[in-house]
């Protein structure tokens, strides 16, 4: 069932995978809103463990690095689930797939809320992460398909905005809820948000509006297995891990380094989220102006701000602006998402989903590397230096990708 309000005779451009029914601007906005709510739910769940780290430590009787493993378990679920579900269900109608993925997400977070101990929570966080990448990937493809070509980047950026708004609002609220009642209520609330997304998507997205691309598993794998695709994924997995290295241990850094009360933690998380919103908007602008080169600018920014973060963390006057600056690294996300959509050919669903697998590989890698540095006695602020090193490695991968692009362009001109 869907809402017929807002339908008109306006016909969308005949892009590959474009909407097969006429949609008014208002109806498209409602569909994008429904998908953005899903992104908000996912972002709130993904980052909840970071803000609730002190609460989880006390309630589960584990250390901060062990809570970091909960973050990594979720991220690994995304890494495994994104390509697997994209391949197994890539031929499904887009609406059916979106509803199934978000329904699964609701169940995974409900299980997380009910997990009796640390080890069961590790399993449930992994399970909850499985539909994450596929949902975002299919959402991005749907957003692009229902939009005009000149609004494609803006539409994809809006889907990503749900994730960044979760960092700004959802995660601080989940942290406050966990501090006021219990961390379990944070995951239970995400389950309700996921069910809301199911209802909104079922209502607003017309059945068959965006057809599935049935390239076949082998054809999709062949299209996916191209160097530009793997390079973009590597940039996300390596370069973006610096953000998660700092973000994952922001709560104990605020308490033990900055020396503020735990009541500051939601504000620190909101600062990262504000930076993410700024970065998401900036990323769309970077892509429109510089294309793939926008990644290099975002990574250069990342190296600088991550090197400065250990200094900023030592004062309550500078730690929040420093957190905002780190969050602006999120500018990479929309640029890389559109890059993957442009270079993946018939592997659209797989590549779009794998984009989020790459970013969650970063979400697993960042906390793990940060935990190693902290465990080695280098201190909480060592996460900034570790993160800067990873962003610099991401720049090297970008330089490789740019060189390959230049060589291919030269060959095309010669031909």
If one counts the domains in the chain, the total is 1
CB 166 within 8 A of CB 330: no
Q: Which domain holds residue 57?
A: 25-206+214-408
Domain annotation covers residue 30: yes
Among residues 158, 284, 295, the alpha carbon closest in space to that of 236 is found at 295
Q: Is residue 66 part of a domain?
A: yes
Q: Does the pTM of the predicted model rise above 0.85?
A: no
Report which of 25, 21, 37 is spatially closest to residue 199, judged by C-alpha positions.
37
Any idea which of 297-306, 332-341, 384-393, 404-413 has the lowest mean pLDDT? 404-413
Compute the distance between CA of residue 80 and CA of residue 132 in angstroms, rounded to an integer: 10
Cβ atoms of 142 and 89 within 8 Å: the answer is no
Q: In angstroms, rounded to a whole number, what is the distance separating the alpha carbons of residues 132 and 358?
A: 12
Q: Give the list of residues 6+ apart from residue 167 with CB closer than 8 angstroms, or none.
A: 43, 47, 269, 270, 272, 273, 276, 277, 327
Interhelix angle for 332-343 vs 152-165, to 10°? 140
Q: Contact 22/12 with Cβ under 8 angstroms?
A: yes
Best CA proximity match to 50, nearest among 226, 190, 214, 252 = 252
Q: Does residue 280 lie within any of the structural domains?
A: yes
pLDDT at residue 167 tops 90:
no
Residues 6+ apart with CB under 8 A from 101: 85, 131, 134, 135, 138
- Which H/E stretch holds residue 18? none
**For the domain that residue 121 is a member of, what is the CATH number?**
1.20.1250.20
Asked if residue 364 is part of any domain, the answer here is yes
pLDDT for residue 2 = 38
Tell me if 101 is assigned to some domain: yes
Model pLDDT for residues 61-106, shown as the tens digit of each residue: 888 778 878 888 888 898 888 888 877 876 788 889 999 999 999 9
| Section 331-352 average pLDDT | 79
**Residue of 145 and 271 predicted with greater confidence:** 271
User: Which of 246, 266, 352, 240 has the alpha carbon at shortest distance from 306?
Assistant: 246
**In a domain? residue 395:** yes
| 7 falls within a domain | no
The band of 352, judged by pLDDT with boundaries at 50, 70 and 90, is: confident
Task: Report how far residue 129's alpha carbon sits from residue 308's, in angstroms, rounded to the nearest whole number.
Answer: 32
Ordered DSSP codes for 179-226? HHT-HHHHHHHHHHHHHHHHHHHHHHS-TTSS------HHHHHHHH--
Instruction: State the angle between helix axes of 265-290 and 319-327 in degrees (0 to 180), rounded to the nearest 10.
Output: 40
């Amino acid at each position: 069932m869907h809402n017929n309000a807002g339908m008109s005779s306006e016909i969308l451009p005949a892009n590959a995978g474009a909407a097969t029914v006429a949609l008014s601007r208002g109806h498209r906005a409602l569909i994008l809103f429904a998908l953005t709510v899903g992104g908000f739910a996912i972002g709130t769940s993904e980052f909840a463990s970071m803000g609730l780290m002190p609460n989880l430590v006390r309630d589960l009787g584990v250390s901060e690095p062990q809570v970091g493993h909960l973050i990594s378990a979720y991220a690994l679920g995304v890494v495994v689930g994104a390509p697997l579900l994209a391949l197994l269900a890539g031929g499904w109608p887009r609406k059916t797939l979106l509803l199934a993925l978000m329904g699964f997400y609701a169940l995974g977070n409900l299980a997380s809320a009910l997990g009796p101990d640390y080890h069961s929570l590790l399993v449930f966080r992994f399970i909850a992460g499985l539909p994450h990448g596929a949902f975002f990937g299919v959402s991005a493809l749907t957003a692009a398909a229902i939009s005009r070509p000149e609004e494609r980047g803006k539409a994809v950026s809006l889907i990503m905005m749900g994730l960044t708004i979760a960092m700004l609002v959802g995660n601080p609220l989940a942290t406050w809820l966990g501090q006021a009642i219990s961390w379990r209520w944070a995951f239970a609330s995400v389950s309700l948000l996921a069910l809301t997304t199911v209802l909104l998507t079922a209502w607003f997205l017309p059945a068959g509006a965006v057809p599935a691309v049935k390239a076949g598993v082998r054809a999709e794998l062949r299209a996916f297995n191209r160097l530009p695709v793997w390079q973009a994924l590597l940039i996300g997995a390596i370069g973006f891990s610096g953000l998660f290295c700092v973000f994952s241990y922001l709560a104990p850094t605020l308490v033990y380094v900055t020396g503020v009360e735990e009541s500051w933690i939601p504000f620190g998380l909101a600062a990262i989220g504000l930076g993410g919103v700024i970065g998401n908007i900036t990323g769309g602008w970077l892509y429109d102006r510089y294309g793939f080169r926008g990644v290099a600018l975002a990574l250069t920014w990342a190296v600088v701000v991550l090197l400065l973060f250990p200094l900023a963390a030592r004062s309550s006057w500078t730690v929040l602006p420093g957190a905002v600056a780190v969050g602006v690294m999120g500018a990479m996300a929309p640029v890389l998402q559109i890059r993957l959509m442009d270079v993946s050919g018939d592997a659209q669903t797989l590549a779009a989903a794998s984009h989020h697998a790459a970013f969650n590989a970063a979400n697993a890698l960042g906390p793990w590397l940060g935990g190693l540095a902290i465990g080695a006695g280098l201190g909480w602020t060592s996460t900034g230096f570790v993160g800067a090193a990873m962003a610099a490695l991401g720049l090297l991968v970008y330089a490789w990708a740019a060189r390959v692009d230049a060589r291919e362009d030269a060959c095309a001109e010669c031909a």
